[in-house]
Structure 1
Amino acid sequence: MTNPDWSLTSADYARHRQGFPPRFFDLLAREGLLRDGATVLDLGTGTGTLARGLAARGAAVLGLDPAPGQIAAARRLAAEEGLADRARFVEGLAERTGQPGEGFDLVIAGQCWHWFDRGLAAAEAGRVLKPGGAVVICHYDWLPLPGSVAHATEWLIEAHNPRWRMGNGTGFYPAWAGDLSLAGFRDIGFAGFDHEALYSREDWRGRVRASAGVGGALGGDAVARFDAELATLLDQRFGPDPLVVPHRIFAIWGYRR
């Protein structure tokens, strides 16, 4: 198999994947997890979608990611949005951030906790947080409800990539409570809500090309074949733009003692 085209994946991620909706940041503020001037470490920042959203609400954010292409995209987007002074990005690992101890009010990880060594990442979050600081783990997942765009898309991903095992999700991650408790975090809290994301066909196709099951696993020619079939499926089975794609936002947090 041809190697995955990671440059394509990063570009599609930056252009087409929607970030957490405004209501998510309202939730963080309402729970006292986000305040103006807070220092935030964003683990697995990718193209900085979450970091830029936090910076736009007054936080000073440092985003970490091990992929140079993602960091370059995050810096470019932050500059384009006028957020370069509040959202900085450097290469780094969630498990070994290289950041000083007790340096942050908030550590956050969006769409990425499952990729980490979770125990090490939770322990590192505790190390870099100020006493009383909080760690937040959050996800923004499409819901493959029967008959939905996401359900049909997952069927097609599985047809092209039989090894893919990330379908049929519910958007809930209760096991992460154990990760935080074992790392010594206290006052564990949960919250979430459902959200209907609106996508154009172009953006939905780009978002799926950027997913781990497609752009992160298939070679360039295979991605092109998948994309062509997805375009046909969308035209045959779903109405005009925008496509309505149900999503679920899930967040769990805890506080350093």
Structure 2
Amino acid sequence: MKQSPDWNRTAADYARHRAGFPGWFYDRMAERRLFGPHSQILDIGTGTGFLGRGFAQRGAKVTGLDVAAGMMDAARDLDRAAGLATDYVLAPAETTGLPAGRFDLISAGTCWHWFDAAKVMAEAMRLLKPGGHLLIANLVWLPLPGNVVAATEALIEAHNPNWHLGGWQGHSADQQRHLIEGGFVDRESASFDYDIPYSPEAWRGRIRGSAGVAASLGAAEVTAFDAELGALLAKDFPGDPIQVPHRLVALWGAKP
């Protein structure tokens, strides 16, 4: 796996403030027959379970996998609050150690860019049942000229010059190529743009929990950043809620 930030340091903010995938997304994936009420699903890079939980709420049997134990602890708390039971496995997506041919669907929610794609493709092919699907889903904020996302990204870059994820708008050409190179067939993709409302407090928490802030900076640096973001929101983006544009891009293919 590629080197990633320390997500254990962000678990509380991530669990509380990061918006999950919308209900209509799961409906559309079910319509495409990617999963059903009794499907066996492996959610890789599960974090706090914000993609896998939606499958579990619709009757699927979900296993969440991640390398950050603190994030999965937060996922268990959220599951208990929702009355769900999800299995969690501490392992990298490249070498899961799970039995072959076990899953109907493997999902990855806004985490594919952290993986060694070739190795995860091979592992996914090993783990899936024939005809099972690999789903790569990216739910990302959209930095548009003059909007709150662009201003926030500029502030992250000022506080953390090593952060290089700004400007991404959910582009999926590399991931489409990965599906092809991985041998997946019947490939499809879909893209949806919509706004997610955040209170100023929630947006600050969402950003604190991101890769460029609490996962990478020290505590004092995070505090300084958060105060500056709060001042920026009050000055340039007053109001509650703040409508934050997002894009959901989904790609999937089947094991022959």
Find the counterpart in structure 1 of residue 244 from structure 2: 245
Render the CA deviation track for 1:60-107: whole Å, top value 9, x for unaligned: 1000011111111111111111011xx221211100111111000000
Q: Is contact 1:161-1:213 (8 Å) kept?
A: yes
Instruction: Give the paired residue count.
Output: 252
Amino acid across the alignment from 1:50: L
3-state SS of paired residue (1:49)? coil
Find the counterpart in structure 2 of residue 232 from structure 1: 231
Distance 2:134 2:73 in 1: 25
Find the counterpart in structure 1 of residue 155 from structure 2: 156
List runs of 5+ in structure 1 lacking aligned partners.
none
Distance 2:158 2:60 in 1: 43
Shift of 1:182: 1.3
Find the counterpart in structure 2 of residue 181 from structure 1: 180
* Deviation larger for 246-255 or 180-189: 180-189
- Give the TM-score normalised by structure 1: 0.95
Distance 1:176 1:21 in 2: 22
Shift of 1:8: 4.3
Find the counterpart in structure 2 of residue 206 from structure 1: 205
Q: 1:186 to 1:5 in 2, by over 3 A?
A: closer
Amino acid across the alignment from 2:152: T
Instruction: Write the mapping of 1:78-227 to structure 2, written as runs, cut at 5 A.
Output: 78-84=79-85, 87-227=86-226
Q: Percent identity?
A: 52
Distance 2:164 2:176 in 1: 22
Shift of 1:171: 1.4
Q: Is contact 1:138-1:249 (8 Å) kept?
A: yes
Find the counterpart in structure 1 of residue 69 from structure 2: 68
Runs of 4+ in 1 over 2 A off after TM superposition: 4-8
- Give the TM-score normalised by structure 2: 0.95
Shift of 1:23: 2.0
Distance 2:6 2:226 in 1: 14
Render the CA deviation track for 1:128-157: whole Å, top value 9, x for unaligned: 000000000010000001121111100101
List runs of 5+ in structure 2 lacking aligned partners.
none
Find the counterpart in structure 2 of residue 28 from structure 1: 29
Find the counterpart in structure 1 of residue 56 from structure 2: 55
Amino acid across the alignment from 1:20: F
Amino acid across the alignment from 1:45: T
Find the counterpart in structure 2 of residue 40 from structure 1: 41
Distance 2:173 2:35 in 1: 22
Question: Alignment RMSD, CA only?
Answer: 1.2
* Deviation larger for 6-15 or 153-162: 6-15
Q: Is contact 2:204-2:229 (8 Å) kept?
A: yes
Q: Is contact 2:8-2:215 (8 Å) kept?
A: no
Shift of 1:6: 5.3
Shift of 1:180: 1.3
3-state SS of paired residue (1:253)? strand
